Amino acid sequence: MAFDKMELKDIEVWDGNFAAAQALRQCQIDVVAAYPITPSTPIVEGYSKFLADGYVEGEFVMVESEHAAMSGCIGASAAGGRVATATSSQGFALMVETLYQASGMRLPIILNVVNRALAAPLNVNGDHSDMYLGRDSGWIQFDAYCPQDAYDLNFIAFKVAEDHDVRLPAMIHQDGFMTSHTAQGVHTLTDDQGYGFIGDFKPMNDMLDFEHPVTHGVQTEEDWHFEHKARQHNDLMTKVFPKIQAAFDDFEKLSGRKYNLVESYDMDDADVCVVCLGTSVETAREVATEMREKGIKAGVVGIRVIRPFPFMEIAEALKGVKAIAALDRSSPNGAPGMLFNELAGALYNTADRAMLSGYVYGLGGRDLTKKHLVDLYTELQANVDAGKVTTQLQQFIGVRGPKLSFL
């Protein structure tokens, strides 16, 4: 192929955006159609620079909006290329209409979502509002907690999404600024290792196969729509997890780094635990260790794959825990949080149905401090000691003014 390879050190100091851009280079993306938006811009900017410098053989398509960006990706993917892009927040919201097209058309597009709050009020900082907005769109959703994860999960996402038994698009989420703009040591793969892990793109029903003409994006009404949606849901529920697990296993063999559908930390004998996403997982792990020094058996569960939701796996991970906190970094706007609801669903039919309380935190980039988590674990332990949830079921953390809680 007509491109140069890049010599990388074993450990490079990269932020999450550059780690993702390097992964896209090593995966040799054929087409990136993108529109810039903070904080995800450096990902596609990085790809376009690698392309201009001769490190990728591909096409960068500049478009007039995120709706057009994903539409361009859909066209390129249907044509038969390896396709990726990146976005955040308002751009993600503008993409939503096309996200459902991409997944319904079973196109293995990879979307790096650098999580950011949704306006109004306008805000460029990290929370999970955009991530939550995509959760019913039929995409696979991976969650990175740090730049290393953002790098690794791109390779895993391509391997899973492009599998002919899966053929579903996938998002890799990383927290705006906290991951995307925080440089850390990232263990690298060589170009050959990275590309070798995902292999050459294998087209399926591609429009550029002129000997087998296909029409993509057809219309179906009440006679067929339900069957297509049922098939897509079936494949998300039954086919995706085995492929993700296989990809995790292969990746561990290649890199030594192990990923799980549900990441459990200090959970073997935990009485109290926090379930969360993104960078908060790492903060919570640190606090859990400190709580154990104070005699509170604290643990952390991080969800690595948000969609499909690891319903059984999370119930298993939470077995034996007495009090659980679900941390949602998105305003539920009139309901319990998404994680609270999903956990309630996963735990309701279990024998030791643990005490579950929900916390809303970190909106618009508000910090989740260690002090917040110390208080939270202390509250969970108080629930255990009292044998019931002693607070209201939904509390806000870190918001100014009188204490805010509901339910």
Q: Find the angle CA(153)-CA(154)-CA(159) to the nearest 5 degrees.
A: 95
Helix, coil or strand: residue 33: strand
DSSP H stretches of helix in 325-369: 338-347
State in Å, rounded, how far the first CA of the chain is from the last one: 60
Which residue lies nearer to another protein by CB, 222 or 293? Answer: 222
Q: Find the angle CA(16)-CA(20)-CA(22) to the nearest 5 degrees.
A: 115
Give 102-153 as a DSSP string. HHHTT---EEEEEE-PPSSSP--S--SHHHHHTTTSS-EEEE-SSHHHHHHH
Beta-carbon contacts of residue 332 (< 8 Å; ≥ 6 apart): 338, 360, 394
Helix, coil or strand: residue 189: coil
**Rounded Cα–Cα distance for residues 6 and 319 (Å):** 46
Q: Which residue in 2, 120, 208, 218 binds another protein (CB under 8 A)? A: 218
Which residue lies nearer to another protein by CB, 121 or 213? Answer: 213
Using the rule CB under 8 A, give the single segment among 152-160, 222-230, 287-295, 316-324 that binds another protein. Answer: 222-230
- 202: contact with another protein by CB under 8 A: no
Which residue lies nearer to another protein by CB, 239 or 292? Answer: 239
CA distances from 235 to 215, 228, 229, 286 (A): 22, 11, 10, 37
- 208: contact with another protein by CB under 8 A: no
- 169: contact with another protein by CB under 8 A: no
What angle, 0 to 180 degrees and rounded to 10, lies between the N-to-C axes of helices 66-79 and 89-104?
30
Q: Hey, what are 141's tokens?
A: 């959703």
Q: Which helix (H) or strand (E) holds 110?
A: strand 110-115
Which residue lies nearer to another protein by CB, 229 or 319? Answer: 229
Q: Which residue in 215, 256, 268, 333 binds another protein (CB under 8 A)? A: 215
Which residue lies nearer to another protein by CB, 212 or 403? Answer: 212
Minimal distance in Å, beta carbon 208 to another protein?
A: 14
Q: Hey, what are 373's tokens?
A: 């988590």
- 228: contact with another protein by CB under 8 A: yes
CA distances from 139 to 133, 345, 377 (A): 11, 21, 33
- 227: contact with another protein by CB under 8 A: yes
Minimal distance in Å, beta carbon 169 to another protein?
A: 12
Minimal distance in Å, beta carbon 211 to another protein?
A: 5
- 205: contact with another protein by CB under 8 A: yes
Q: Hey, what are 396's tokens?
A: 């806000």
CA distances from 380 to 103, 177, 271, 373 (A): 39, 30, 9, 10
* 344 torsion bin: left (phi>0), alpha (psi -120 to 50), beta (else): alpha
Q: Which residue in 2, 120, 208, 213 binds another protein (CB under 8 A)? A: 213
- 210: contact with another protein by CB under 8 A: yes
Partners of 395 in beta bridges: 359, 405
- 135: contact with another protein by CB under 8 A: no
Using the rule CB under 8 A, give the single segment among 115-123, 213-221, 257-265, 284-292 that binds another protein. Answer: 213-221
- Site residues for another protein, window 41-60 (CB under 8 A)? none
Q: Which residue in 120, 121, 212, 268 binds another protein (CB under 8 A)? A: 212
Minimal distance in Å, beta carbon 163 to another protein?
A: 12
- 235: contact with another protein by CB under 8 A: yes
Using the rule CB under 8 A, give the single segment among 45-53, 57-65, 99-107, 385-393 that binds another protein. Answer: 99-107
Q: Which residue in 128, 167, 243, 372 binds another protein (CB under 8 A)? A: 167
Using the rule CB under 8 A, give the single segment among 211-219, 277-285, 387-395, 396-404 that binds another protein. Answer: 211-219
User: What's the sign of the alpha-carbon dihedral 383, 386, 388, 393?
Assistant: negative
User: Contacts with another protein: how many residues (CB under 8 A)?
Assistant: 25
- 231: contact with another protein by CB under 8 A: yes
- 104: contact with another protein by CB under 8 A: yes
Q: Which residue in 196, 199, 217, 387 binds another protein (CB under 8 A)? A: 217
Chain residues binding another protein by CB under 8 A are 104-107, 167, 205, 210-218, 220, 223, 226-228, 230-232, 234-235
